[in-house]
A and B are shown apart, each in its own frame.
Chain A
Amino acid sequence: EVVLTQSPGTLSLSPGERATLSCRASQSVSSRQLGWYQQKPGQAPRLLIYDASSRATGIPDRFSGSGSGTDFTLTISRLEPEDFAVYYCQHYDSSPSAFGQGTKVEIK
């Protein structure tokens, strides 16, 4: 079973800054099985990235994903006010599916 570890736990940044979120897998996973989600308080999670680097429908291009093997990254090039939220990585297309513990991006 794959375990995903996200870092940092909290990222304090200002609007306009660049955010870099890390997701490390306990064993090598296929890039076609790694996704990222955004969740805001009181809302459902929203798919941002799949296949490690493909943006989901309607996701702005300031969001990008990269990585392979055991190390994956979500980058938000310039933070907008609506981007402050919790972000999760996910290993899917397997049972059980696994989520990382989340990274909270908060306003500095």
Chain B
Amino acid sequence: EVQLVESGGGLVQPGGSLRLSCAASGFTLSRYWMHWVRRAPGKGLVWVSRINDAGTDATYADSVKGRFTISRDSAKNTLYLQMNSLRVEDSAVYYCARDGVATIPFDSWGQGTLVTVSS
């Protein structure tokens, strides 16, 4: 069974850092493109970042470019999101999602981890 489990969220002050993890099971992470998506309280889904299957190409939303870094550890079958210089507007539930095969989009999602940026 495909499963994604996020962790690492919490309360952090503006300007601080957090690293989110997304542990995958039931499939090999390095065979799929992977994404981070967030949902702020009372708002809709917003795509944040993605990494290709080879781990050689990463893309970011303009709002996080230069502050967030997506990566993965194939040995641990885990996806990461390093978040630096956090802002109040980064507060959200962060989901990792798997990009499906062929033209199938985000076919598996984790339950999310809450990040709160506040002083």
**Interface, chain A (partner B; CB < 8 A):** 32-33, 35, 37, 39, 43-47, 50-51, 56-57, 86, 88, 90, 92-93, 95-102
Determine if B111 is an interface residue (Cβ-Cβ < 8 Å).
Answer: yes
The answer to whether B47 and A101 have CB atoms under 8 Å apart is no
> Which residue of B is nearest A92, CB measured?
B105
The answer to whether B103 and A97 have CB atoms under 8 Å apart is no
- A33-B103, A45-B95, A46-B109 given; name 14 further pairs at CB < 8 Å: A39-B45, A45-B97, A50-B103, A51-B103, A56-B104, A57-B107, A90-B105, A90-B106, A96-B59, A96-B62, A97-B105, A99-B44, A100-B44, A102-B44
> Which residue of A is nearest B46, CB measured?
A99
The answer to whether A88 and B44 have CB atoms under 8 Å apart is yes
The answer to whether A44 and B111 have CB atoms under 8 Å apart is yes
The answer to whether A93 and B95 have CB atoms under 8 Å apart is no
